[in-house]
Structure formats: structure tokens, C-alpha cells
Amino acid sequence: MPFTPFHMGPGILIKALLQSSFSLMVFGWAQIVMDIQPLWVLITGNGHLHGFSHTFIGCALLAVVSAISGKYLSELGLRLLGIGKAQQPVVISWWVASLSAAVGCSSHVLLDGIMHADLQPYFPFSPNNDLLGVISIEHLHQFCVYSGLLGAVIFFLIQWRNRLRC
């Protein structure tokens, strides 16, 4: 699923449940970082499509990269979008950036592992992909879409309730 919005569905649900303890922007950035290696293979034709970046060891390393770069890029993006007060811009804590990147990268391996036969999530310990076909691709896509829709409803209901309290 290179650069697909389907990966964002579970992230939207997690954002709704954790609110300010989770950064959807860092999560989304982690999705992009995870698919840089497959994009390179698609462009050049060289390498293994779902290679080292789509292993649990690779995703752990990319989670660190995503957290560090995503924290600063997301803060800049929020500032440019005018989110937060001008005198007090939104600051994403290292805990939130780390959690969001770790969830983003690991969920990416899990979701791709279900649908891509060439993925080896346990490499170098095992070439097996026990995730493959756990559910159908159709059900996987439905899960991603419905979790995103549910997350959006929950998020906006919580925002609405919080505004009524003020």
C-alpha cells in the first residue's frame, strides 16, 4: 500500500481515543517514511519491494527517524496552518512524537503484512509472514476505512462536548 490513505484510518481512531497524547501528523509522516524504500524500488526497479523497512527491526529504526523528523516537521506544519495561539504555538512532546511514530511504523508493517506476500516482518529471525491472509484484503480495507470514520466521529464529538463545557 505505498502512500495509501488506508493506513491513516486506524491512526484517526487512535487520535480520537488519545486526543493530545497522540500526533496524527507524526503518525502520517511515519507512514510516508515507511514507504520511501518501496517507492525507491518502484522508481528504480532495483531491490526488494517490501524489504528491510517492512520488518519489525527496520520499522523500529524508522520509528526513531520518524519521531525526530516528524516532531519538528509537524510543529512547523501546525504553525504554518495557524493551529495554536500565535504567542504559544503547539509543541509536540517527545513522548507523543515517539508513541505516534512507533504506532505508525509498527501498524504499517502489520497492515502490509496481511496483504503482501513478499513481506518478511520477522527478518532476519524468520522468512515467514504469519500475518499474510489473516483477514481478506477486502476486510482489511474495510477495517481501515471504518476505523477512520469511527475515529472522525469520536474526535468531533469530543471536540463538540469540550466546546459546550467552555
Query: pLDDT for 10-37, tens place per residue?
Result: 999 999 999 999 999 999 999 999 999 9
Q: 78 lies in a domain?
A: yes
Q: 9 lies in a domain?
A: no
Q: 14 lies in a domain?
A: no
Averaged pLDDT for residues 74-101: 88
Average model confidence (pLDDT) across the chain: 93
Q: 96 lies in a domain?
A: yes
Q: 61 lies in a domain?
A: yes
Q: 160 lies in a domain?
A: no
Q: Cα–Cα–Cα angle for 149, 15, 64, nearest 5°?
A: 125
Query: What's residue 7's pLDDT?
Result: 93
pTM of the model: 0.93
**What is the extent of the structural domain holding 65?**
19-135
The answer, yes or no, to whether residue 1 has pLDDT greater than 60, is no
Q: 1 lies in a domain?
A: no
Q: 26 lies in a domain?
A: yes
CA 128 to mean position of chain CA atoms: 23
Q: How many domains does the chain have?
A: 1
